[in-house]
Amino acid sequence: MRLRVLQFAVLAVLILLWHLFTAPGLLPNFYFEQDNRAAFFFGEPVKVFWVMVDWFTSFEIFQHLGVTLLETVLGFVIGAAAGLGIGLWLALADTASAVMEPYIKGLNSMPRVVLAPIFAVWFGLGIWSKVALGVTLVFFVVFFNVYQGVREVSPVLLANARMLGASRSQLLRSIYLPSAMSWVFASLHNAVGLAFVGAVVGEYLGSSQGVGYLILQAEGTFDINTVFAGIVVLTAFALVLDAVVGAIERRLMTWQPKAGETETSSLGAGEARGRFSRKWATSVRNESYNSRLSCSVSRRRSLWRRLSPPSFRRMLPNGWKGRWAVDW
Amino acid sequence: MNGAINDAPALALEDITCRFAAREGGAAYTAVSHATLTVRAGEFVSVVGPTGCGKSTLLNVAAGLLGPSSGTIKVFGEPLRASAGVNERAGYMFQADALMPWRTGLDNVIAGLEFRGMSRAKAMAQGEDWLRRVGLAGFGDRYPHQMSGGMRKRLALAQTLILSPDILLMDEPFSALDVQTRQLMENELLALWAADRKSVLFITHDLEEAIALSDRVVVLSAGPGTRPIGDFKIDLPRPRDVSEIRMAPAFVALHKEIWGAMKEEVLKAYQRQKAA
């Protein structure tokens, strides 16, 4: 509770400063020559607030938010499904993954936002060009995680399932998929965020609806307050999406040990890594993929050591050997 | 079981050699060389040997998880080929944790039944029964990470035994447990085994455990190129209590005899590890 109060205090101070420095005539000018210049360039929090009130009371915003949400969800679902499918395929087919390696690397290194104009030409200015951009962004995040997740399935777990009589498709369903899913969920927050980026950037480059379109229109008339209002609405909306993903994750991943619960086995160290660790983990994973398509666990581990701040490492259980510790 | 081949041994490893390709430039590593080992139906055989001597390799060959470089494996008289799939008449209990962390205890126990296509309701009933038999009644809805090491081993035992395999392969299953839990588990294993007399191939590095549990103890030589160098019949009376039988004079005599055969190999393995 105390924490929440402090968190809101930071926000309040920032808004207050914003107001003090931009309100015309409130403070003597020290940079701009005219009173209203600061407000022109940086907007005014009070006016931003009234723009938002106007949007929500006139229901105008809901149509645009709905469009942006639809694009986000479609981009996320299609991108995640493709990433899951192709990730599973390449992780299980050695030849195919060796052949595809340079192309995957190349596509991942490409700044994919530059594809937006091409998508606009191919799919028009409707929602599908935005969905396509979201898909290209989401795909790689999910793909790398599924790939790594399947590659790092414990060999003991596989051998055990085989001895219990699992066929190939049953191995896929009951070992590979659940194992990969724990990695996918670790990246889901990133993936949803990227789908959102795809939608908004796509709208910003050319559209007739959506929050990105509102921002684009306001910018055309130098209406900086409306631009800021759009940014605030987008940010709040992204936080809501993130919370939804968190709730889904908690529901589906009940089998993972939670922080504070005694960790008797060495797996599922994910929770213990703390609240900012997801990004670290993801960057480490991508790095290891780029270094070599066939994963090298030890390399990933050493990268993790190099990249993770000591405070996170201290939170790991003793003898942590990667996500799935294996003694074969 | 087929009547005609009833007297065939449950498991016969004949002249097994396993070579592993070396990594970049080195010579190939021969883990097991010309090893012959049989387990008769209903027999409890332990294999002991110094650390790193290829015990697990031998067990993986028996399970059909690993194809030998040469030699044949016969299961109740029928040849087993690793390329054609695993040994379907065997259950395997691993040294490391092999439970699916995303399944509850009960779902882990019935995994094998599900793979065989049994209806869920029927499998659940059997699973509950087995949870009771290994002393985990009421723990079926817990996830593996919420259980202690001993509970997870019981769960793994139930997971393997629910399929009622004719052959039980065990790879140092209790090595990770503390001494007390370990003796409890050994007694429970003996009780379960006495109920329907499976053939058991039990791998361990602990000679006391091997003698206390088995009908026969096979001693392996130090690696590389492991092969059996001693075969000792354990004629201690059954039923046994593993914690009491260790005090019996016959036990001590057997221990002395087998340790005499093992000692040299253990020292050899130690020297080799020190040199490496």
pLDDT tens across A221-259, in order? 989 999 999 999 999 988 898 898 888 888 877 777 665
Chain B closest-CA separation from residue A77 CA (Å): 23
Chain B touched by A156 (CB under 8 Å): yes
Secondary structure letter of residue A58 according to DSSP: T
Chain A closest-CA separation from residue B88 CA (Å): 7
Interface test with B, best of A153, A154, A163, A170 (most B CBs within 10 A): A163
The half-sphere exposure of A150 on its side-chain side, counting CA atoms within 13 A, is 27
The half-sphere exposure of A100 on its side-chain side, counting CA atoms within 13 A, is 18
Which residues have CB under 8 Å from B16's CB, separation 6+?
A: B32, B34, B35, B36, B37, B58, B61, B68, B70, B71, B73
Chain B touched by A167 (CB under 8 Å): yes
Chain A closest-CA separation from residue B247 CA (Å): 33
Which residues have CB under 8 Å from A85's CB, separation 6+?
A: none
Chain A touched by B90 (CB under 8 Å): yes
Ramachandran category for residue B85: left, alpha or beta (phi over 0 → left; psi -120 to 50 → alpha): left
Strand partners of residue B233: B216
Dig out the tokens for B206 from the structure.
């602990």
Please name the amino acid found at residue B14.
E
B79 three-state secondary structure: strand
Contact A225, A47 (CB under 8 A): yes
Residue of A nearest to B151 (CA): A264
**Residue B196 CA, distance from chain mean position:** 17
Q: What is the pLDDT of residues B134-172, one digit of tens each?
A: 888 889 899 998 888 888 988 998 999 899 899 999 998
Q: What is the pLDDT of residues B2-26, one digit of tens each?
A: 444 457 888 999 888 888 887 666 6
Chain B closest-CA separation from residue A102 CA (Å): 24
Burial of A144 (0-12, 13-18, 19+ CB in 10 A): buried
Chain A touched by B192 (CB under 8 Å): no
Instruction: State residue A319's pLDDT score.
Output: 36
Other Cβ atoms less than 10 A from the Cβ of B133: the count is 18
- For tokens 């059954």, the residue is B238
Other Cβ atoms less than 10 A from the Cβ of B85: the count is 12
CA angle (B252 as vertex; B251, B257 as ends), nearest 5: 100
Largest CA-CA distance found in chain A, in angstroms, rounded: 80
Question: What average pLDDT does this structure show over A40-53?
Answer: 90
pLDDT for B261 beyond 50: yes
Of A156, A166, A265, the CB nearest to B94: A156
Chain B touched by A175 (CB under 8 Å): yes
B101 and A164 within 8 Å at the Cβ level: the answer is: no
Of A167, A255, A328, the CB nearest to B143: A255
Chain B touched by A114 (CB under 8 Å): no
Give the number of residues written for chain A.
Answer: 328
Contact B154, B185 (CB under 8 A): yes
B115 and A178 within 8 Å at the Cβ level: the answer is: no
Residue of A nearest to B158 (CA): A164
Secondary structure letter of residue A114 according to DSSP: G
Chain A touched by B101 (CB under 8 Å): yes
CA dist., res. B241 & res. B187, Å (int): 6
Chain B closest-CA separation from residue A64 CA (Å): 40
Strands B44-48 and B199-204: parallel
pLDDT confidence band for A114 (50 / 70 / 90): confident
Contact A156, A175 (CB under 8 A): no
Of A162, A174, A326, the CB nearest to B86: A162
Q: What is the pLDDT of residues B95-138, one digit of tens each?
A: 888 899 889 999 999 999 999 999 999 999 999 999 998 888 88
Chain B touched by A265 (CB under 8 Å): yes
Q: What is the pLDDT of residues B75-97, one digit of tens each?
A: 988 888 777 788 888 999 998 88
Report which secondary-structure segment, H or E, holds A259: none
Contact A112, A134 (CB under 8 A): no
Tell me what percent of the residues of chain B surpass a pLDDT of 70. 96
Chain B touched by A152 (CB under 8 Å): no
Chain B closest-CA separation from residue A260 CA (Å): 12
**Residue B265 CA, distance from chain mean position:** 21
Dig out the tokens for B72 from the structure.
């044949």
Helices (H) and strands (E) in chain B, counts: 9, 10
- For tokens 């990133």, the residue is A190
pLDDT for A289 beyond 60: no
Mean pLDDT of chain B: 87
CA dist., res. B38 & res. B231, Å (int): 11
The closest alpha carbon to B165, from B11, B5, B16, belongs to B11
Instruction: State residue B7's pLDDT score.
Output: 74
B82 three-state secondary structure: helix
Contact B105, B141 (CB under 8 A): yes
CA dist., res. A109 & res. A287, Å (int): 11
Dig out the tokens for A317 from the structure.
């259980």
B97 and A265 within 8 Å at the Cβ level: the answer is: yes
Chain B closest-CA separation from residue A101 CA (Å): 23
Contact A189, A276 (CB under 8 A): no
Of B87, B95, B163, the CB nearest to A164: B163
Dig out the tokens for A73 from the structure.
């969800």
Interface test with B, best of A152, A160, A185 (most B CBs within 10 A): A160
Instruction: State residue A108's pLDDT score.
Output: 85
